[in-house]
């Protein structure tokens, strides 16, 4: 919150003049607008007033949108971001797991090599560049925005799944299962995958965090009215009330993601459930 507040104030330009779009305005009106927004106060006093208002649940009014309540802006932008993230997660999880399962073959080297090269490429491209390329390829449609978020996440899931499955495939119980005549698919799905679920569940937080941090770039490139784009526009317009509120929502979303990841780890590992119920 402090970082977004300082960033919005560090940019050049007067937020009041940005609010009136640089039109010629009466100096007295400008003065009243600055006083009404608290911009005539020292920076430390402005931040303290803003932080105290947040603690009271008052997100304030937007300068950029002419006094519209920040809660109204957030309520309109948040569903877009949540829908984008949900679609990306729904695409990245099965694709990543499928690629990880396909590459976890201790008898053939090329699937793992192909996955390594592909994942390095997917994770090396900056989110802004990847979103721009996919926007141009898909004429700016929403499914391509989902793909821009899902591709790096799927690469992360695939690499982790392959690493964990390859480790599990070296255990004695896997050799026993193969000695009983089970095929490769049955060994992977019935024996290897269940034993790799705990570290995979632990990665949910980092993967979802990656999706969350790249939403601003994707929403900006695809011109989607989501929370990330709202935050970027607020910082550029020095609309610190909107910027701070958007960052606060992002932080709360990250906390919720981390708690969900911990819950999934507990569900995937029976030992943790046993420990939790022990006296």
**196: domain CATH number?**
1.10.3720.10
Tell me how far CA of residue 1 lies from CA of 72, 75, 244, in angstroms. Answer: 19, 19, 5
Note whether residue 44 is domain-resident. Answer: yes
Segment 14-65, tens digit of pLDDT: 677 666 665 556 777 777 777 777 777 787 888 888 788 777 878 888 877 8
Residues 109 and 134 in one domain: yes
Say yes or no to pLDDT of 272 above 90: no
For residues 37 and 85, state if they share a domain. Answer: no
CA 121, distance to chain mean position in Å, is 20
| 93 in the same domain as 48 | no
Mean residue pLDDT across the chain:
79
CA triplet 7, 243, 262: central angle to 5 degrees? 105
Q: Predicted confidence band at 244 (pLDDT cuts at 50, 70, 90)?
A: confident
Is the domain of 125 the same as that of 159? yes
Same structural domain for residues 78 and 40? no
Q: How many domains does the chain have?
A: 2
Residue with structure tokens 């402090």? 2
- Domain co-membership, 148 together with 262: yes
Residue 75 domain flag: yes
Structural domain for 36, as ranges: 2-55
Residues 6 or more apart whose Cβ sits within 8 Å of residue 182: 190, 191
- Whether residue 60 lies inside any domain: the answer is no
Tokens of 106: 């201790």
pLDDT, one tens digit per residue, over 119-133 is 778 778 888 888 888
Q: Are 108 and 150 in a shared domain?
A: yes
Q: Are residues 51 and 84 in the same domain?
A: no
- Tell me which of 30 and 79 has the higher pLDDT: 79
32 and 112 assigned to the same domain: no
Report pLDDT for 219: 92
C-alpha 234, offset from chain centre = 19
Residues 143 and 38 in one domain: no
Domain shared by 144 and 224, yes or no: yes
Whether residue 62 lies inside any domain: the answer is: no
Q: Which whole number is the average pLDDT over 192-206?
A: 76
Query: Any alpha helices (H) in the chain, and if so which ranges?
Result: 2-10, 15-19, 27-37, 43-55, 70-103, 110-124, 127-137, 142-168, 172-179, 184-187, 193-195, 197-202, 204-221, 227-236, 240-268, 270-277
Spatial distance between the Cα atoms of 152 and 225, rounded to a whole number of angstroms: 22
CB atoms within 10 A of CB 262: 15
| 187 half-sphere exposure, CB direction, 13 A CA radius | 23
Judge if 22 and 145 occupy the same domain.
no
Q: What pLDDT is stored for residue 225 in this prediction?
A: 93
């Amino acid at each position: 919150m402090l970082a977004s507040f300082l960033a919005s104030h560090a940019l050049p330009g007067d937020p009041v003049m940005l609010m009136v779009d640089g039109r010629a305005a009466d100096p007295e009106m400008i003065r009243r607008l600055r006083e009404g927004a608290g911009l005539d106060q020292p920076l430390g006093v402005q931040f303290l007033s803003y932080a105290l208002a947040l603690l009271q649940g008052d997100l304030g009014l937007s300068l950029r949108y002419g006094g519209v309540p920040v809660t109204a802006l957030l309520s309109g932008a948040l569903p877009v971001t949540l829908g984008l993230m949900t679609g990306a997660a729904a695409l990245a999880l099965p694709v990543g797991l499928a690629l990880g399962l396909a590459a976890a073959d201790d008898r053939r080297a090329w699937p793992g090599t192909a996955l390594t090269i592909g994942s390095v490429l997917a994770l090396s491209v900056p989110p802004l560049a990847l979103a721009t390329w996919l926007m141009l390829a898909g004429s700016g449609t929403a499914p391509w925005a989902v793909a821009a978020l899902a591709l790096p996440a799927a690469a992360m899931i695939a690499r982790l799944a392959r690493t964990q499955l390859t480790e599990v495939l070296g255990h004695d119980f896997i050799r026993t299962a193969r000695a009983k005549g089970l095929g490769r698919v049955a060994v992977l799905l019935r024996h290897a995958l269940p034993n790799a679920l705990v570290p995979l569940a632990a990665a949910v937080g980092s993967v979802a965090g990656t999706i969350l941090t790249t939403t601003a770039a994707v929403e900006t490139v695809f011109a989607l009215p989501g929370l990330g784009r709202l935050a970027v526009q607020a910082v550029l317009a020095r609309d610190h009330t909107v910027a701070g509120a958007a960052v606060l929502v992002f932080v709360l979303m990250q906390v919720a993601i981390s708690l969900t990841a911990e819950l999934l780890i507990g569900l995937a590992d029976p030992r943790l459930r046993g420990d939790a119920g022990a006296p």
